[in-house]
Amino acid sequence: MTIRLATWLKFNAVGIAGVCVQLAVLAILKSLLGVHYLVATFLGVEAAILHNFIWHERWTWAHRGLGWAGAVRRLLRFNAANGAISLAGNLVLMWVLVSRLHVNYLAANVVAVAACSILNFVISDKLIFRPSS
């Protein structure tokens, strides 16, 4: 198996776990605490971003030996890039799917996450977790 394929598979495994984190935060905030679904989506996405960064740093791209020295800089880039894609994509798609098409908010969230994942992988692989030159 090539390193790129192994990295893609790890990225998706982390992403699936991140979706679980995101959906749990979304469900708890909306269903149990009555938080508006867009605010709950924002907080769920941010929780998933932080979860995913830690796993990507220590597992997905561990073969690149990036070390702790640049971890804060990578976290900021990851949060900005993947955060922008995930937050904007999730919020826009959630609004369209829930408010306009009346899709269940949890199902809509799964669709939104899937739509953002490929772009997030490319940006993470090429810009965030790249080996230092």
Distances 132 to 20, 46, 116 between C-alpha atoms, Å: 32, 26, 26
Tell me, what's the pLDDT at 116? 87
- C-alpha 128/C-alpha 131 separation (Å) is 9
- C-alpha 116/C-alpha 85 separation (Å) is 7
Tell me, what's the pLDDT at 133? 47
Q: Kindly list the averaged pLDDT for each block of 10 residues, start to end, along the chain of length 133.
A: 88 94 96 95 91 95 85 92 85 94 92 86 90 64
Phi/psi-derived region of residue 6, left when phi > 0, alpha when psi is between -120 and 50, beta in every other case: alpha
- C-alpha 9/C-alpha 96 separation (Å) is 30
Residues 102, 117, 27: CA angle, nearest 5 degrees: 45
What is the token pair recorded at 80? 């900005």
Tell me, what's the pLDDT at 124? 92
Q: Look-up: residue for tokens 């769920």? A: 44
Judged by DSSP in three states, 65 sits in coil
Around 62, how many Cα atoms within 13 Å sit in the side-chain half-sphere?
Answer: 7
Tell me, what's the pLDDT at 130? 86
- C-alpha 8/C-alpha 14 separation (Å) is 10
